[in-house]
Structure 1
Amino acid sequence: MTIGGQGPYGPPWPPPGNPYGPAGPYPPHGRPPPHGPRPPSAPFPPYGHAPNHPHPYAPYGPYPPPPRPSLWRRFREDEWPTLRELLGIVRRIPGCIWGLVLCCGWPFVVLLLTYPLARSARRASLLVFPVDRARRLLDPDLVLLQKIRAGLALAASFAILAVWGTSEDWEEAQDQFTLRLMTTPWLLLLTAPLVLAVLFRFAPPAARPGMWSRLRPARRAVLCYFGAFTAVPALLLGMFALYREFPDSVPVAVLVVALLAPVLWLVFFVVLSSPTAVRTAFNTTQVHAALPALLTGVLVWEFAALNLAIAELPPGPPLVGMSALLGGPASVTALVWWEIRRLRTRFGVSLRG
């Protein structure tokens, strides 16, 4: 018998009279839940935070947890491990190596004292110069060719010095390397505005407001880097002047010792942020994808002119010296031209777009 019409299934509501028994505390209609009662005061735990979660990969769902990056990768691309984590890794070193460390223990003690400052400076450098901004468009073939070219250039320079070089030539090569490290940020600061002006000149008017907006991180990065770069010698000169003026003053000596920590932090910041700052041209690579290639092509010729103005030709016959002087910039220029061509053909990025 049906209720509420001649249909074979009846209405969706229960029939009158509560045929399922007296009303109880369990909905619906007094029937208990299939898995037993649940206390009303116990909240539902979030997924993955239950004490005995049935899934083996909680809280990552049906997927395994991501692999932890290696220690070398953390030191190179990520935030450095804490001192406690580092000491936990050091405990697994064999005892024979610990004996060698204890024989010359003062570098280990200095490392323990300065590591927190270096880690803090590394964190600040990652905030100002993120590692992922080094290249906007990655081309594996181009990266491989650049590594091969750098290896061949280093091998050729070493071979020339080994065959025709003297002790003065080796010392001059070391001085040139140090000079290049010191002058690269300043040359980059002077060259980047010129290359950016050329790119803005070629860019269409509709794209220029977006390029201007992407220059804001670059301005902040330049202020932070060169502020730290110039603060280090200024603080050192001020400390030496104070100590020379008041050599017997205890407050001055305490002040000089207290200023050593900020100076060391600034030195760590400049050293750790310099590789990313040079690769990203102070975060100006976000303005245009072809900017790193153009800057590299201009900088190599500037370094060649600087080396020719300061030092003589590389050792060896004149033909070998001219080839060593011009071969590096010429090969880099060829790679720059190929990179710009691949940006246009593979990614649709042109100097006017």
Structure 2
Amino acid sequence: MSFGGPDNPYQPPYQPPPPNPGPYGPPPPPPYTGPYVPPQPYPYPYPAPNPYPPYVPQRGLLGRLRGAEWPPLRDLLRQARQRMHGCAWLFLLVPCTWFVVPGLMVAYVFARSARVRAHRLFPPRAHRLHHDPQVTRLQKARALSAAAMTLALLVAYGKPEDFSEVEEQYVVRLMVTPPLLLLSAPVVIAVVYRWAPPHARPYMWQRVRAAGKAALWYVGAVTAIFLIGGMFALLEQEGQSTTDVSWLAVVLLVPLYWLLFFLGFATGPAVRSGFNSAEVHAALPALLTGVLVWEFAIISLAAGGPPPGPPLVSVLAFVGGPASVCAVAWWEVHRLRTRHGVRLRG
């Protein structure tokens, strides 16, 4: 028996010689058509795609509470039981603190329910349809410069009572902003609706109706709080000796707490978005800002007088703030028109 050579009965099957590689290298292998397709090479050598999603660090419990959604109470308790510090367990074991825990649980349930409803009506990040980083930076720079100029005027020409007056005007502005916005927004929306082309008005009308329903929710919540406060005043006049009056007061506290939580979570997004006016037209938040700043200037002039300083400085301080806000708002409208095709007139 011989091994090897041309007479070897165990020769491998015949294989043709490889083709001529030519000037461009060997030809690629034919595609594999079997049941399993092997991974194909990336067409570019670098960088190769990452087959795994990027690592996102897990935030703590408080970080998730600051996020978009709050977990239900059952899930929150389960997560807190796994991650609660030992000092917290010692706090819960003290008998004098047992009455605090049920109150916190009930408050969390009310707060979560009100927060979900408030953010469903007024999404926190819906105040701009087109985010422009340059406009945002300019707005922050204008706000900082206005605060610096106000402080410089108070230091140079102000009196001790002017500082307390500035704080009072700030609190009054916070309280006046929602009702003033509710009165100004329909006027500005009506003007923009009149300027809009005819083919865009049906869509705008649908969004106006949706924004109007959200605004009615806000107005209804404020009205209900005043009504509940009036009912409490009537109960105090009736006296607290009867049991029915006490139970009625307890029953009124339940919607009152929910409404207060609702207004607390809805006021910020509602004011920033102009009660969802950005969904009606992308330029409405900028236009509403320009209108509101002049209204605030007139209210401040009527309530506290002109800014401190010589007449020329006082006039420039009174006109310069609203004028700079209007300039930034008009530049924002210009960028919306040139970059995103948003037009005020048809």
Q: TM-score, normalised by structure 1?
A: 0.72
1:280 counterpart (273, 298, 301): 273
Q: Secondary structure at the match of 2:125?
A: helix
* Aligned residues of 2:287 and 2:329 also touching (Cα < 8 A): yes
Report runs of 4+ in structure 1 exceeding 4 Å deviation.
64-77, 81-84, 86-100, 104-113
TM-aligned CA distance change 1:77 to 1:323, over 3 Å:
farther
Q: Deviations over 1:93-145 (max 9, x none)?
A: 98899999xxx999999756533322221111011111232211110111111
Q: How does 1:1-353 map to 2 (within 5 A)?
A: 62-63=52-53, 68=58, 74-76=64-66, 78-82=68-72, 85=76, 114-353=107-346
Moved more, 300-309 or 215-224: 215-224
* Aligned residues of 2:119 and 2:265 also touching (Cα < 8 A): no
**CA deviation after TM superposition for structure 1 residue 315, in Å:** 2.8
* Aligned residues of 2:193 and 2:201 also touching (Cα < 8 A): yes
Q: Deviations over 1:73-97 (max 9, x none)?
A: 6555512355564896699798899
Q: Secondary structure at the match of 1:79?
A: coil
| CA–CA distance in structure 1, aligned partners of residues 288 and 253 of structure 2 | 36
TM-aligned CA distance change 1:79 to 1:145, over 3 Å:
same
Identity of aligned residues (%): 48
Q: Deviations over 1:57-78 (max 9, x none)?
A: xxxx953576556767655551
TM-aligned CA distance change 1:235 to 1:85, over 3 Å:
same
TM-aligned CA distance change 1:259 to 1:196, over 3 Å:
same
| Structure 1 counterpart of 2:42 | none
| Structure 1 counterpart of 2:30 | none
- Matched residue count: 293
Q: Secondary structure at the match of 1:131?
A: coil
TM-aligned CA distance change 1:115 to 1:323, over 3 Å:
farther
Unaligned 5+ runs, structure 1: 1-60
TM-aligned CA distance change 1:65 to 1:91, over 3 Å:
closer
| CA–CA distance in structure 1, aligned partners of residues 166 and 77 of structure 2 | 36
TM-aligned CA distance change 1:229 to 1:332, over 3 Å:
same
| CA–CA distance in structure 1, aligned partners of residues 170 and 98 of structure 2 | 31
| CA–CA distance in structure 1, aligned partners of residues 278 and 289 of structure 2 | 12
The CA RMSD measured in Å over matched residues stands at: 3.4
TM-aligned CA distance change 1:70 to 1:205, over 3 Å:
farther
**CA deviation after TM superposition for structure 1 residue 253, in Å:** 0.8
Q: Secondary structure at the match of 1:234?
A: helix
AA at the equivalent of 2:292: L
TM-aligned CA distance change 1:244 to 1:75, over 3 Å:
same
| CA–CA distance in structure 2, aligned partners of residues 105 and 293 of structure 1 | 50
| CA–CA distance in structure 2, aligned partners of residues 241 and 204 of structure 1 | 53
